[in-house]
Amino acid sequence: MKDEKINMSINDGDAFYAHELSINFNPLQFVFDFKSVTPRVDPRSKDRASICLKHNVVLVDPFHAKRVSELLGKVIKRYEKEFGKIEKPKALAALEKKTKKEAENTTIHEDKIEAPSYIS
**Contact present, 31 and 23 (Cβ < 8 Å):** yes
Question: Do 10 and 21 form a contact (C-beta atoms < 8 A)?
Answer: no
Span 39-83, pLDDT tens digits: 877 777 777 777 888 999 999 999 999 999 999 999 999 999 999
- Identify whether 9 is part of a domain: no
CA distances from 14 to 7, 17, 21, 45 (A): 22, 10, 18, 29
Q: Is residue 113 part of a domain?
A: no
**What domain range includes position 87?**
20-105
> Above pLDDT 90, what percent of the chain?
50
In a domain, 2, yes or no: no
pLDDT at 105: 81
Domain count within the chain:
1
Q: Is residue 14 part of a domain?
A: no
pTM of the model: 0.64
